[in-house]
Structure 1
């Protein structure tokens, strides 16, 4: 039986930025989630079949300092607004996946406030990890996420924390969500996830759950925790870095690693997200957006498009307070208000997502190298008896590449050359050209 996730393409957005919510908590409920509803048709027309939402739960600032996992952030709305989003998304074929921040909580999390008031020996203190000393302000010191005092690490060995996270995940799945992104999953002990997800799976066997993992033992984390997938940061980095450096050998190394992961799970793949510099800003030549996207949408895994990348938005992440603002901008009221220069990139996304939807086997496709130099490559993307060819030319000159078994050009632009009337053997690409070829109908 085909699972919905096997053919999913996510449109990933950061809600607080998308709807232009203020950067700090509001007491009054503001019904801004409807702004996302107004963009659902835009996502569908692009080809998306899922919405991957950043944090939507009550927090003090950016959403990752959660203070109540059972409450929609008042800056976004309330339960009714969430229910409306689900009810509008589902008929359009859009599954909604939520962002769960369960490694840490914000300083205003009520149980932390109680623990700080009553001391590390109180009942509430068992939810957190205390360091047995006082900080510079004379307050009991606690473990934090990567040194951020406002992000307080939970005690994942506590039965209360295990029960709480399990209850949160089941609650929103019961309410209509289709899955979870587990923020900072790499920082949480693997047995914690195994315990929590075993219970969640009993109640929601079809839920899609993946973990944010930047580097490390991808395969081991999947096996030990029970997540369906992890974020493929290795491939993200290799795509833009290899293109910028004109060193496709780096990309080939990452693709071989990716093939190994595909033996065990389908990674969550991307060329942009809410934590990294925009692809259009990262690449030294925007012509190469097409090269990156052709790879993303023909390799195995579950591809994700970060909202705005489909319009070639620019934005650089900076390591400072407010350094994420440029990559998490507000969107206009309607798609019609977008700048005109972004629509060619949107149409490119439509073309390549459409190709992927017509070849649903690509979610498990392995790459096989056919031709490789520093600046040109041909790969066969294969699964069973199915195959497509992806050809890239990073050179400033025209090039002719081998294309054994290649047939019609399905995307991009190329001239297919044939040694025999019925068999293509090479493809001519313009400078900085690319193409995806279907198999020859005669092979």
Structure 2
């Protein structure tokens, strides 16, 4: 059981970008494939062939108090393990990327987070690996993941691959992580997760496991995989799309489906992450950014805030080499370096997170759509005892709901 997830609000950081790490690693290999020690393949000791010597993870330590000021209490990290470029081309799951630091830097980050009551969620890339990952041929399918020649798919029918993932998960949970966000979970047979988690959970019953699932049968995948949660891309898409099109019926449909997901597990909700255009750039009317956040923080699930979104950062993802760079920027040395232009959005996040904190039951709340037009919506969330209603108006005229009148392009929360 992991009851702490009911109270978790994540601040999602992409470490390689956040800390200004070089685009490419200087590493030359990931062990000799002989399986040294308890690590298995890629688990060599020391820093042989890895270069680096940087300690950029310490920059994240410097931002933990900011995370708390925002109102969050969880640090969701993107890839931190040895890789060739962007972190999702892993070559050693047992080694901190030398561009970020080493084991000591990880331990210091975990200790600093723990002192502040902050949980840390790691990004596990177990569907594919980088070309420099040393393993026997039968560990790989021989296929490139989704056409990316630099990413080789692991063979999830191979028991040794499951053994490896179990070792990796246990290793970092033993070191203080609170759970895993599992990259490209949708591409992995759900039975693989079921088998792996059955072996990891006995030693780590408090850990939380969420899979990246983009579309499809969320409840069915949760049931078959035994994952605790999934990434709620349907809600993400419906939020910005319905606001841009002034078609709140789309959001209403997604909210209805969201209730089925909540019955099956704990979805991770978000309006931004490392793979998508930032919400401030995605919306065609900046007045509706607040509406997006109101939906995020009043629906059931565990909300995740992508670093910089709380400062109204802009960034557009492009389908080209380096097309993610704009949404994975370097963060300043301290909050004092932020532009004052982002402060209102930061304070809006604080206000809405404060409401979420006062109503922790929202994590498991069921939400019904009441009054609904193209441009107005009433969302009432309840746990059977408590109740909260979010009123949205994205139209050009005031709208009177039973609970009150909402001005044009405005919102109201009735607690």
Length-normalised TM-score, structure 1: 0.87
Aligned to 1:103: 127
Q: Distance in 2 between the 1:314 and 1:200 partners? A: 39
Q: Distance in 1 between the 2:184 and 2:379 partners? A: 33
Q: What displacement does 1:28 show?
A: 2.1
Query: Is 1:146 the equivalent of 2:150?
Result: no
Aligned to 1:390: 390
Kept after mapping to 1: 8 A contact 2:2/2:205: no
Q: What's the secondary structure of 1:143's corresponding residue?
A: strand
Q: Distance in 1 between the 2:188 and 2:144 partners? A: 12
Aligned to 2:105: 81
Alignment of 1:180-195 (within 5 A): 180-195=180-195
Q: What displacement does 1:2 show?
A: 7.5
Q: What's the secondary structure of 1:263's corresponding residue?
A: helix
Bigger Rg, structure 1 or 2: 1
Kept after mapping to 2: 8 A contact 1:371/1:402: no
What is the number of equivalent residue pairs in this alignment?
391
Runs of 4+ in 1 over 3 A off after TM superposition: none
Aligned to 2:54: 30
Q: What's the secondary structure of 2:319's corresponding residue?
A: coil
Aligned to 2:37: none
Aligned residue among 81, 93, 116 for 1:92: 116
Q: Distance in 1 between the 2:258 and 2:226 partners? A: 19
Q: What displacement does 1:53 show?
A: 0.2
Q: Distance in 1 between the 2:77 and 2:15 partners? A: 7
Q: CA RMSD in A?
A: 1.0
Q: What displacement does 1:39 show?
A: 0.5
Aligned to 2:294: 294
Kept after mapping to 1: 8 A contact 2:83/2:92: yes
Q: Distance in 2 between the 1:106 and 1:265 partners? A: 31
Q: Distance in 1 between the 2:115 and 2:194 partners? A: 33
Q: Distance in 2 between the 1:388 and 1:263 partners? A: 19
Kept after mapping to 2: 8 A contact 1:181/1:211: yes
Aligned to 2:249: 249
Q: Distance in 2 between the 1:190 and 1:262 partners? A: 18
Aligned to 1:49: 73
Aligned to 1:65: 89
Kept after mapping to 2: 8 A contact 1:268/1:304: yes
Aligned to 1:3: 3
Kept after mapping to 2: 8 A contact 1:185/1:211: yes
Aligned to 2:167: 167
Kept after mapping to 1: 8 A contact 2:18/2:329: yes
Q: What's the secondary structure of 1:380's corresponding residue?
A: strand
Aligned to 2:220: 220
Structure ranking higher in strand proportion: 1
Kept after mapping to 2: 8 A contact 1:232/1:270: yes
- Which deviations, in whole Å up to 9, do the C-alpha atoms of 1:158-184 show, x marking residues without a partner? 111110010000000000000000000
Q: Distance in 1 between the 2:260 and 2:125 partners? A: 29
Aligned to 2:355: 355
- Which deviations, in whole Å up to 9, do the C-alpha atoms of 1:290-332 show, x marking residues without a partner? 1000010010001000000000000000000000000000001
Query: Is 1:401 the equivalent of 2:396?
Result: no
Q: Distance in 1 between the 2:138 and 2:389 partners? A: 56
Aligned to 1:437: 414
Higher relative contact order structure (alpha carbons within 8 Å, sequence separation ≥ 6): 2
Query: Is 1:428 the equivalent of 2:372?
Result: no
- Which deviations, in whole Å up to 9, do the C-alpha atoms of 1:360-396 show, x marking residues without a partner? 1000111112211000111211111110110011012
Aligned to 1:381: 381
- Which deviations, in whole Å up to 9, do the C-alpha atoms of 1:97-126 show, x marking residues without a partner? 000000010011122xxxxxxxxxxxx111
Q: What displacement does 1:192 show?
A: 1.1
Aligned to 1:120: none
Q: What displacement does 1:19 show?
A: 0.1
Kept after mapping to 2: 8 A contact 1:378/1:402: no
Kept after mapping to 1: 8 A contact 2:52/2:101: no
